[in-house]
Amino acid sequence: MPNTRPLSPHLGVYRWRVNMLQSTLHRLTGLFLCLGALLVAWALIAATNEGAWSVFASFWTGWIGEILLFLWLWSLWYHLCNGIQHLVRDAGRGYGPANRDRAHDPSYWSTGWMILAVSVALTVLVWVLLALRIAGGGA
Amino acid sequence: MSSYPGQEGLRTPLKVARGWGSSKTGVHHWWVQRVTAIALVPLSIWFLFVLGGMLHAADYAAVVAMVAQPVQAILLIVFTVCMFWHGALGLQVIIEDYVHTRWLEVTLAIALRFGAFLGALASVMAVLALWLNGAG
């Protein structure tokens, strides 16, 4: 029996909406966070040996390390916030053809922009909190 | 013929089942991805502060002390296992979406399983080593 199920039309037929950016960023940040998983394993393994730890810590507290950690921090917050939206919509809340109608439920689309803004805000907040704690000497 | 869910008239079970997609392990993949995601929400936020504290600890003894406690060590084990599991499930979907050469797709999927397992195992062993040596 030939497969008669409909195929997706080409991406170009859709009007641009924020969920396209959300979806792409979710995948890209997920990919980047997988590299971060290797960093977590590396950190824990390095911590078992004093010499290895000092090499690890000196790189990740250097400026290249700090920039990378900042990017990882944002990736985590973005993936986490957007993931919560995924979980909420997986549960069926606020999801369906009616919600996608901008006039009926404007929050369906504005949530995407809120997630982007909140992820940036939380990144800065945690960075500042950690910096304050380190400056305060309380590691 | 006895009736079965979804039966309409004289349609056979095969006729009803066709066209609804494959019946492999997709549901399990979907559920484990969600369950690990839920676990990772609090654990990853907590870990940010653990890693920050470790990187800026006063000395090496303070780094070990951050891991070598029962609660910290157990949470770190749960975190790393969930993290590698969730990451492997996500990467598997990326491989399935973009790799259209069947042998390469399968090879990458198997390599991914091996890599995720090794990463999780190495992390767990490192935490156990820190915990048990630090406490002893």
Cross-chain Cβ contact A80/B41 below 8 Å: yes
Q: Which residues of chain B have pLDDT under 70?
A: 1-8, 23, 135-136
A137 against B42, higher pLDDT: B42
> With an 8 Å Cβ cutoff, is B122 touching chain A?
yes
Residue of B nearest to A24 (CA): B94
> With an 8 Å Cβ cutoff, is A125 touching chain B?
no
Cross-chain Cβ contact B56/A50 below 8 Å: no
> With an 8 Å Cβ cutoff, is A88 touching chain B?
no
pLDDT value, residue A92: 87
What is the distance in angstroms between the Cα of B1 and the nearest Cα belonging to chain A?
24
What integer is the mean pLDDT of A72-76?
97
* A130 vs B contacts (CB less than 8 Å): 48-49, 52, 56
Alpha helices in chain B (DSSP H): 13-17, 26-55, 60-67, 70-98, 102-135
Domains and CATH numbers, chain B: 29-135 (1.20.1300.10)
Percent of chain A scoring above 90 in pLDDT: 64
d(CA B48, CA A33): 13
B76 against A10, higher pLDDT: B76
B residues 80-109 lying closer than 8 A (beta carbon) to A: 80, 83-84, 87, 90-91, 94
Asked if the model's pLDDT at residue A18 lies above 80, the reply is yes
**Domain limits of chain A?**
64-96+106-139
Count other Cβ atoms within 10 Å, centred on residue A46.
Answer: 21
pLDDT digits (tens, 9 = 90+) for B60-85: 999 999 999 999 999 999 999 999 99
Say which residues have a Cβ less than 8 Å from residue A72's Cβ, sequence separation at least 6: A32, A33, A36, A39
Cross-chain Cβ contact B123/A1 below 8 Å: no
Mean pLDDT, all residues of chain B: 90
Closest partner residue to B123 among A30, A44, A60, by Cβ?
A: A44
Residue closest to B41 by CA, chosen among A71, A32, A85, A40: A85
Going by pLDDT thresholds of 50, 70 and 90, the confidence category of residue A1 is: low
Mean pLDDT, all residues of chain A: 89
Closest partner residue to B94 among A31, A33, A48, by Cβ?
A: A31
pLDDT value, residue A133: 82
What integer is the mean pLDDT of A30-57?
96
A residues 92-121 lying closer than 8 A (beta carbon) to B: none
Asked if the model's pLDDT at residue A139 lies above 50, the reply is no
DSSP label of B4: -
